[in-house]
Amino acid sequence: MSMFLEVKAEDLEGVEASPEEIESLDQFEEKKVSDANSPFANLLGNLLAGGGRQRQGRVAGGSISRNDPVVEGGMLYGQDFLEIRQGCLDNGNLFTDPEFPPDNASMYFSEDVPYGVEWKRPREISSNPQLFVGGASRFDINQGELGDCWLLAALANLTLNKKFLYRIVPKDQSFTEEYAGIFHFKFWQYGEWVDVVIDDYLPTRFGKLMFIHSKDDNEYWTALIEKAYAKLHGSYEALKGGTTCEALVDFTGGCTEMYQLKERDVPKNLFQILQKAYERCSLKGCSMEPDPNVLEARTDIGLVRGHAYSITKVMNVRIETPQASGKIPMLRIRNPWGNEAEWKGPFSDGSAEWQFIPDEEKELIGVDFGQDGEFWMTYKDFMKYFDQLEICNLTPDSLEDLDDFSDRPKWSVTTLHGAWIPGQSAGGCRNFIGSFASNPQFRITIVDPDENDDEDLCAVIISVMQKGRRAMRDEGLDVLTIGFALYYLKDPSAHEGPLNTEFFRFNKSVGSSKAFINLREVSTRFRLPVGTYVIVPSTFKPDEEAEFLVRVLTEKPSDAQEM
């Protein structure tokens, strides 16, 4: 969950206060996305799965952390794609994955498998299976029986830049050359890229793919990438419910922001933030608040509640009417269902408003009125009807080895790892002042203001991400309620070590995550004066155990380290 907060230099003068005043100011709220009125309710599942067949034993034996999948040499379960494929070719066998075999346990851990399920290889399903048919397109991706529209929206974003896509889907594999029933895909996991090997058995019912599938029956990249992602998390069921941001992070290594568009603290310059994100090739998604009584309820205006959409273009579009001419802010949005379920309001496909957009402008922005799930709408209508916006900001990790972005502006990123250990470093939020100071603390120093900032402030995004919780769902564990607080140091030299309880009694925070919430990642965008700050990430309650990752994004390089 994300928010925006601007701090001016004069705000830093009043950070010291009485304990009574601070108690009233620095009290945090716990939010649960399972609340019936939460805009996340139908995007996040209430069940969560566990890793491959060997993970539980390795965790129990203490050889790996329970927060992480088994990664050896950058490969999930140490499975080397090239080595395994060559062995299959030498022996004349097709690969069957012992870590994620074609059986019921790979599909569900708490539900019964539906009648009629058969695992089949693509050659048993289609006459001419291919990884891609005519290249990858956002129109390839269609949802099946699994509640993972959040994953589809992220995949649609991924197709907008082939460099990102082909890092996830390596080109050294096909259904023709050196085919051995084995494929591999790469996902970002907490600071490293992990290669995931799968066999190509896919669950079908009555001869059709059950889950994500492509528009062309011979195309399989969408179904196979979903299977690899399911393996990473332990089962297909583990993918039920999530946020587009979570998948975008795993596909890019980026850092996410999430905005509630109906709340008062939405940045006034949000369209400019969206434009800048689009220019940086950041990936974006949006959704409407769900209907608590109807899953993915369709509205009269054509939009679907509780459903994840991808934003595929952000532009000021030239318009000419009899009364005036100029530009209007607009967005192009796609429903991953890829059908006629589209926006029916102003600037919907074929609507009268398009007569005021010059033909050359329509050609320039790529207007297409096909029943493909994609549509245009004004920024004003976007803010009126959508409730949630997600932005995945690309980091140097995201853009590594991608030459197309060498001249694009990039965030400077610092990555820090930590752990909440009960009885040692799991102090809970500031509400629990007696133990709060025991949490891990990270100092960040910002030296230079951003260029072209009239107020000499610095754009800073702070993200806290808990590790591996989706892979613990079959253990009955879920994501913890997490957040962070940000403190300003007037005299950094007076605080060489961690800040103590006395400091927190008499110094109020200058910013924080908006609430403590049970999401994998929480983040906040700040505009801060130069200076030295301390980030205190924590769970809401004390003595809750997890490992976590802190990332700090700044326009200019900054220095961050654990205290």
Give 14's pLDDT tier (boundaries 50, 70, 90). low
pLDDT at residue 53 in the model: 45
Q: How far apart are CA 94 and CA 170, in angstroms?
A: 20
- Out of 281, 307, 439, 518, the active site residue is 307
Q: How far apart are CA 160 and CA 162, in angstroms?
A: 6
Residue 324 neighbours by CB distance under 10 Å:
8
Give 514's pLDDT tier (boundaries 50, 70, 90). confident
Q: Which two tokens stand for residue 167?
A: 């890092």
Q: How far apart are CA 122 and CA 211, in angstroms?
A: 14
Domain 290-386: state its class. alpha beta
Work out the burial of residue 402: count CB atoms within 10 Å of its CB; fewer than 13 is exposed, 13-18 middle, 19 or more buried: middle
Any residues with CB less than 8 A from the CB of 66 and at least 6 apart, and which?
Answer: 59, 468, 472
Give SS3 for 193.
strand
> Which range, of 44-53, 208-217, 316-325, 340-349, averages the lowest pLDDT?
44-53
Mean pLDDT across 225-244? 87
Residue 116 has pLDDT above 80, yes or no: yes
pLDDT digits (tens, 9 = 90+) for 44-100: 333 333 344 444 554 455 544 555 568 889 999 999 999 999 999 999 999 999 999
Residue 214 has pLDDT above 80, yes or no: yes
Residue 439 has pLDDT above 70, yes or no: yes
> Which range, of 14-28, 144-158, 367-381, averages the lowest pLDDT?
14-28
pLDDT at residue 559 in the model: 84
Residue 403 has pLDDT above 80, yes or no: no
Q: Which residue reads 């005299």 in tokens?
A: 491
pLDDT at residue 60 in the model: 53
Mean pLDDT across 32-53? 40
Residue 555 has pLDDT above 60, yes or no: yes
Give SS3 for 499.
coil
Strands 442-446 and 559-562: antiparallel
Q: How far apart are CA 67 and CA 417, in angstroms?
A: 13
pLDDT at residue 162 in the model: 79
pLDDT at residue 401 in the model: 56
Domain 4-42+406-562: state its class. mainly beta
Most confident of 24-28, 449-453, 465-469: 465-469
pLDDT at residue 450 in the model: 77
Q: Which residue reads 């059950």 in tokens?
A: 210
Backbone angles phi, psi at 449, to 5 degrees: -70, 165
Strands 117-120 and 202-205: antiparallel
Any residues with CB less than 8 A from the CB of 376 and at least 6 apart, and which?
Answer: 330, 331, 332, 333, 347, 348, 367
Q: How far apart are CA 77 and CA 491, in angstroms?
A: 48
The more confident residue out of 447 and 19 is 447
pLDDT at residue 335 in the model: 82
Q: Average model confidence (pLDDT) for the chain?
A: 83
Give 19's pLDDT tier (boundaries 50, 70, 90). confident
Distances (CA, A) of 357 to 328, 345, 465: 10, 16, 43
Mean pLDDT across 305-309? 82
Sheet holding 521-528, edge to edge: 4-6, 521-528, 458-466, 546-554, 412-420
Strands 141-142 and 30-31: unpaired
Q: Rounded to an integer, what is the distance from CA 492 to the centroid of its chain?
A: 34
Give 42's pLDDT tier (boundaries 50, 70, 90). very low
**What are the b/e assignments for 152-162, b being 16+ CB within 10 Å?**
bbbbbbbbbbe
Mean pLDDT across 457-484? 79
Say if residues 302 and 343 touch (Cβ distance below 8 Å).
yes
pLDDT more than 70, % of the chain: 84
Residue 212 has pLDDT above 50, yes or no: yes
> Which range, of 295-299, 475-479, 483-487, averages the lowest pLDDT?
475-479
Q: Where in the chain is the domain with CATH 3.90.70.10?
A: 290-386
Catalytic site includes residue 149: yes
pLDDT at residue 49 in the model: 32
Residue 9 has pLDDT above 70, yes or no: no
pLDDT at residue 172 in the model: 95
Mean pLDDT across 116-135? 93
pLDDT at residue 434 in the model: 95
Give 322's pLDDT tier (boundaries 50, 70, 90). confident
Say if residues 241 and 110 touch (Cβ distance below 8 Å).
no
- Out of 335, 439, 507, 518, the active site residue is 335
Q: Where in the chain is the domain with CATH 2.60.120.380?
A: 4-42+406-562
Residue 96 neighbours by CB distance under 10 Å:
16
- Out of 149, 245, 255, 429, the active site residue is 149
Any residues with CB less than 8 A from the CB of 174 and at least 6 apart, and which?
Answer: 130, 131
